A and B are shown apart, each in its own frame.
Chain A
Amino acid sequence: MKSLCLLMCFSLAMQASAQSTAEPTPARQHELIRLVRQDCGSCHGMTLKGGLGLPLLPDSLRDKPASSLAATVVHGRPGTAMPPWKTILAEGEAEWIVSRLLTGFPKE
């Protein structure tokens, strides 16, 4: 039973990396919300209204395409303080975060 579960977890992980658009699990979503509020919040503010980094509220992101926002999260923006998050976040997770930012980011 334990090995079956492990196998399932493994295949789920494989799916997550293969299908980058897959929705993160609820547990992972919880982690991502905390990461955005607390760690992205270091620069963008916990309320995401901006700080050293730009505001990440829906109004301030509206005219930017989601794909380029997700690319900024994954690869960073050279010449600015925005780091690449690719060692921390999968592409699908960055896309999920951007889609939530555009519609109003959930509270913790």
Chain B
Amino acid sequence: MDRVSLIDRVSQGMKNLLVLMLVLLTGCAQQQLRGTGDLGVVIERAAGRIVVVDSSAHATLGTVEGLGDLSHASVVFSRDGRYAYVFGRDGGITKVDLLTQNIARRVVQAGNSIGGAISQDGRLVVAQNYEPGGIKVFDAETLELLADIPSTFGNNGQRSKVVGLADLPGNRFAYALFEAGEIWVADLSDPKHPQLTKYCDIGRQPYDGLVTPDGRYYLAGLFGEDGIALVDLWKPEQGARKILAHYGRGEEKLPVFKMPHLRGWAVAGGRAYLPAVGRHEVLVVDTSTWQEVGRISVKGQPVFVMARPDARQVWVNFAFPDNGWVQVIDTLDNRLIDTLAPGKAVLHLEFTPKGEQVWISARDDNRVMIYDTLTRKPVGELPAQSPSGIFFTSRAGRIGF
């Protein structure tokens, strides 16, 4: 080997080393350590994209594309708060890594889907489907299908749309069947051999459901009649009963331009705050007796009625055409204390983990507004394209989220 080629080889080696160091350095920069407790996602529904946000910094960390039809999207989080499972209208479940803003897994598991839930132990992800009607159970790690439970009812093999899926203690899930008027509880403690408990004739057209924060009561709101179906999951042998059956008796209902959502419950100070269907009212119910104890007149038909985590306030948004408003109820005396106009077409709101701020999506203004919940003044905003749902990782530790 002559001297020149030796120098060449040495300098080539140096170059390789430099390149290697650069790669390592860049890699380190990308993998800076951080937690996920103040992260969340904002759905950009028309674009099929999510924005990963930092609720401490009021900043966008990145966007993730290719999530399909997100026109009715919902999100649950892995119990370590690192992964978001995004359920799309087109039956897609996308597992997104919030730290790298990459798609970790994605499956399309139905033709028309409405949302999902994650089990108490974090090992199972369950999708609720309209078409074909039923729920499907997946391994949260791999998104491998573990069980398929069709919502078949009656005698002719018809399948019902599934609404109101909620996770319960004991790796069980409760949900309601829209056409069938039934509530089913699936015990998935052995996911390949689900055990079903069915509550029939619970009322006409349940449209959504919620479980109380203690995991004890499952409530399904009824669209086809006044009232709410209730199951005491600690006393399942008592069956389902109807509460608030006469809240609208003798009154003409207003047209319902958007179904209320019950998930994201507002159970505060021994009372549940529930949207009245076809009325400009929030119903207040005592959770020990399940009797109505009050009604609060509001700007429009409530869509989301959500308690601040400390339960002192309840925030409400409204269906079209009153969807430019948000109102705030003080739960101490069930009085309206504020009316806000965060922007055009307010679709959703989400509190920071301890509730000092609330993020509100204004779809037609293409922005997310951030309010201080104490002063109820705006403290920030983020641009987003037609934003709908906002979901923070603090949901990971809560039953029913």
Chain A interface residues (CB < 8 Å from chain B): 38-39, 41-43, 45-47, 49-52, 76, 79, 81, 83-85, 87-88, 108
Contact = CB atoms under 8 A, between A and B. Distances in A.
A52 B255 contact: no
A18 B363 CA distance: 34
Contacts of A39: 257-258, 320
Nearest to A86: B255
B132 to A, nearest CB: 13
B267 interface: no
Contact of A51 (B130, B205, B255): B130
B124 to A, nearest CB: 25
The prevalent SS among residues of B at the interface is loop
B255 A84 contact: yes
Contacts of B163: 52
Interface residues of B, number: 26
A83 B46 contact: no
23 contacts: A42-B257, A42-B258, A42-B320, A43-B259, A45-B71, A45-B89, A45-B112, A46-B45, A46-B69, A50-B112, A51-B89, A52-B114, A52-B163, A52-B178, A52-B207, A52-B259, A76-B255, A81-B205, A81-B256, A83-B256, A85-B255, A85-B257, A88-B257
A18 to B, nearest CB: 24
A40 to B, nearest CB: 9
Given A83-B256, A85-B257, A88-B257, 13 more contacts: A39-B257, A41-B71, A42-B257, A43-B259, A47-B69, A49-B112, A52-B130, A52-B161, A52-B259, A76-B255, A81-B205, A81-B259, A88-B321
Contact of B46 (A46, A79, A84, A88): A46
Contacts of B112: 45, 49-51
Contacts of A47: 69, 71, 89
B131 interface: yes
Interface string B72-106: 10000000000000000100000000000000000
B345 interface: yes
A38 B345 contact: yes
A50 to B, nearest CB: 6
B300 to A, nearest CB: 13
